[in-house]
Structures are given as C-alpha cells and as structure tokens.
Structure 1
C-alpha cells in the first residue's frame, strides 16, 4: 500500500478508504469532506445509495435530486436526519449565497430542506440527499489519515453526483497519479487475487 502523502485537510477534498480501514461502515467508501476545522470534521459518503426513493421521504425534493434519485447513506452519525448537498447554477465564491443555501467550497454547499423548493429551483443545478453523515472529533481524522486509513485526494465537481456511485471508489483512485491508480485494481477480497 502506498504511503499517504502529507496533506492539509480542507472542505471539498475526498477521503478514499484504504485497505487498512477496518470499520465496515467505511469499506471502499468515498467521503466528500464538507467541513474541517479545529473542532473536527464532517463529510458524507458518496457511494452508498439506499433503496429508498427521495419521493417516499421528501416528496417536494425528488424532482431536484440527481439520478439515482434515492437517499444516500451519508454516514453512521444522525441517520434519522437528512442533509442535501447541492451546486449553485452560477455565482462566484464571494457572491452572497441565496436563501436556504450555505456555501461550503466553490459553488458547492448545503441546502436547508425546510426552504420552499420554489426558492431553490432557480439557483441549484445539482442536488443529492443524504441520511446521516460521517463525523470526526478534534484530531481524529488527522490521526486516521496518518495511520493510513484514508487517501486524501482532490474532488471533481461531478463526484458528489455520480450516476454510478458503486464504481466511484475505483474511478477516483484510477485518476490519481502514481501508485494510487494501481490501487484502484485491488479486488474486494485480496485472497481471491
């Protein structure tokens, strides 16, 4: 397994699970880091779609949700709550965010699901809804990265809205330079290799 490079964690990066990560909640997961500061970190798993259609839980939002239009398991924390990650249609980073939208990085942010959808439709181009999230306390994520549990790589705007979320782990690694691209070919069960 390649040594993880020294990284500075920040919102907008991807955490890609390594073989060293033993928590089954995160096996072969890709996490979009939404927030990282001195108090801890928060992200959502991008490649864990549930079988539950958005229309069954949040009927007003199902037409805005990217395909597959299902709830995604965002992580093991607060699984009874929903979080919507979205991309604004236009705007620069220093523009004021529209009502119901909290910018996190670039044009990506979180939509308050209590906001009337008619206010969101004109300003959001992509949207995905997650049940729960992944969270780390102060220094916890840094320690996991240092021990080799996560590769930290740049995200692409489309990663959070992948039409084929199950193949995201391999696709993200395949586009990385050097040995990480090779890691993408690792079978789920290395004893079968």
Structure 2
C-alpha cells in the first residue's frame, strides 16, 4: 500500500531565503530570547512573503546547529486521511514551513500514549511511534485537540535566526497557551498577537493581507 513519507524527528537543518524587510515600520522590542517552546511572530514587514506572511511559529529546537519550527496558523486543504491511507479520521494538516514539504511532522501532548516522543516544553512533544498514532486515531483514543500534523517545517542554519531577529523579521514571545496551543484555532491567530503587542501593531491587526487592496 502506498504510504506518504514522514519523519518523526529532524536531525538536520536547511536554509531558506532570507526575507526582505520594510525598514519604515517601527519594531516592537521584547526581552524574550529564542528558545524551544517560544513563539516567533512574523513582523508586518514580511507582508508579501509567500512562506511567512502573518505567520506564528512554534520553535521546536534552537541551538548552535540551527533552529526548527512549525507554522501554527497556515492550514492546508488536506486532511491526514488524504495523506495516510490507514487513517480513517480527517484531522487537519498544516503548512509547517518551506523545508521538506513532502514530509509529514507532528506535535502532540500525549507522551504517555506515544512512545519515543521528545519534549519541546510546557507539555508539548514532537515525534514518536507513528504506527501507534495511526492506531490511537482510528480507535478515537486521541482527538484532534491532542495532536497537530504539518507538511514541511521552518528551518534556520546556525546563527541564521539570530541574524533575522537582528534585522527585525520576527518578534519572540512566550507561549502562554502551553500545551493548549496544539488546539489553538489558526483563525486570526496573528491578528491576536498584533493586538497583544499594541502600539503601531494595532494598525496592522485589521489591515488586509495584501495592503495594496486597502
């Protein structure tokens, strides 16, 4: 039976295109440092970027070798049962980022049910026994609020994310949702973060994705 290719853990990092910035926007400054479990909020200056426009990224790893994250608010038109024939329930699949988009990744909050998981932080895990996940979903032991699937991931080589933070591509914030972020609705997620940041970001919270349409 044909099987969609998936990885349970990442052990490599790849570059993606460094983003151009709009230097005229006043940037918010936070004292939160990049660390696995933190959130990256795309600056409004990234408007028009195909991969990261208005994205909210969960950092799954950040060390001297590079960084890995998953975009949380870019749902795809696919369900997991479209990709994995053995799964009968249509859990949503998300665009995790521009790297390895033919690979399937997942985060979850049920490590007691999924062996070989790696903790990110705050009760959020990634990877694990995928065959077990298939059984758990089909048996309805876990629900869509427990796990989130992604095609692809967001990857930065060594120091690349630090450089993009220095050039004000991203704002780093704490994950106040903890493990509940797994079932956080993608709708208006970026807008909510703009409202929380306040100041000039309030203007962007209601702006169209393509400012030329305004």
TM-score of the aligned structures, taking structure 1 as reference length: 0.79
Q: Confirm or deny: 8 A CA contact 2:40 2:170 kept in the other structure.
A: yes
Distance (Å, rounded) in 1 between the aligned partners of 2:109 and 2:119: 9
Name structure 2 gaps, 5 residues minimum.
Answer: 1-25
2:45 to 20, 27, 35: 20
Q: CA RMSD in A?
A: 2.8
Name structure 1 gaps, 5 residues minimum.
Answer: 91-96
The reply to whether residue 134 of structure 1 matches residue 154 of structure 2 is yes
C-alpha displacement of 1:6? 4.2
Q: Confirm or deny: 8 A CA contact 2:67 2:158 kept in the other structure.
A: yes
Distance (Å, rounded) in 2 between the aligned partners of 1:56 and 1:10: 33
Distance (Å, rounded) in 1 between the aligned partners of 2:147 and 2:54: 23
TM-score of the aligned structures, taking structure 2 as reference length: 0.72
More strand by share: 1
Q: Which residue of 2 aligns with 1:93?
A: none
The reply to whether residue 107 of structure 1 matches residue 123 of structure 2 is yes
Change (3 A) 1:119 1:78: same
C-alpha displacement of 1:59? 4.4
Change (3 A) 1:133 1:167: same
CA offsets, 1:99-145, max 9 Å, x none?
Answer: 13211112101133534234787688610100110000111111111
Change (3 A) 1:111 1:60: farther
C-alpha displacement of 1:2? 2.9
Q: Would you say how many aligned residue pairs link Structure 1 and Structure 2?
A: 181
Change (3 A) 1:113 1:80: farther
1:30 to 56, 59, 66: 56
Q: Partner of 2:62: helix, strand, or coil?
A: strand
Change (3 A) 1:119 1:55: closer
Distance (Å, rounded) in 1 between the aligned partners of 2:87 and 2:116: 14
